[in-house]
Structure 1
Amino acid sequence: MQIIALHTRLRAGKEEDYDRIHAEIPDDLDIALRAAGVHGWRIWRSGRDLFHLVECDDYTRMRAYLREHPANVPWQARMAELLEVSDDYSGKEPEVKLVWELPELTK
């Protein structure tokens, strides 16, 4: 499984719209994401900056699967209205390598 980190940025004044739209993802998009091999997708927002953590089988394959998917095309069109920087994907795998984490306390 891959863990992918992405950064996007909202257009000024679109923060509330983005939060509202993401409060409920359409069922057909949820199904498409899972069919594309996505196991988890979390998004954090700090002001206009969005930080995504995607857990998937194969990020490149997932993007190809969703590119023309009928559930994803209208979603991406809607996101394009809200995003200033739609994707900082540079063509190479933005996979995140875990270097360190705070260990759990043992008693």
Structure 2
Amino acid sequence: MQRIALRTRLRPGAEATYDKEHATIPADLEAEMRAAGVRSWTIWRDGLDLFHYVEVEDYAALQDRLRGSAANQAWQLQMNRLLDGDFDASSTGLPRVWTMGPPAGGTEGEAA
């Protein structure tokens, strides 16, 4: 499983529209993303800055599959009008700088 972080930025004034339109995504797009190995995709917004966290089997394979997807092309067209620059589908994600793992002697989600 790959864990990918991405950053995008909204155009000023697009915050409410983005939040409203991104509250749900088209069912056909979600189905394609899940079939391509996406386990979860979360987006946080801080003002104009968007931070994406993706858990996916193979991010490069996901990008290849979605490039030819009519559902994804329509969605990107809809969303890119709100972004300060188009979403870079070729991005490999933000480089990881640091991670805090589970506590010594325990496992994640388990008391030591």
* 3-state DSSP of counterpart to 2:70: coil
* 3-state DSSP of counterpart to 1:43: strand
**Residue 25 of structure 1: how far off its partner (Å):** 1.1
Distance 1:43 1:80 in 2: 15
Asked if the contact 2:38/2:57 (under 8 Å) is kept, the reply is yes
Q: How does 1:9-88 map to 2 (within 5 A)?
A: 9-87=9-87
Corresponding residue pairs, total: 107
Instruction: Tell me the amino acid that sits aligned with residue 58 of structure 2.
Output: D
* 3-state DSSP of counterpart to 1:82: coil
Asked if the contact 2:6/2:94 (under 8 Å) is kept, the reply is yes
**Which is greater in Rg?**
2
Gaps of 5+ in 1: none
- 1:97–1:30: structure 2 CA closer, same or farther, 3 Å change rule? farther
Distance 2:15 2:44 in 1: 12
Q: If each structure's strand is expressed as a fraction of its own residues, which one has the higher value? A: 1
Task: Show CA shifts across 1:11-40 (max 9, x none).
Answer: 010000110011111110110110111000
* Counterpart in the other structure of 1:106: 111
Distance 1:105 1:92 in 2: 32
Instruction: Tell me the amino acid that sits aligned with residue 48 of structure 2.
Output: R
Gaps of 5+ in 2: 104-108
Distance 1:57 1:97 in 2: 21
* Counterpart in the other structure of 1:2: 2
Distance 1:67 1:90 in 2: 10
Distance 1:24 1:54 in 2: 16
Larger RCO: 1 or 2 (CA < 8 Å, sep 6+): 1
Asked if the contact 2:7/2:94 (under 8 Å) is kept, the reply is no
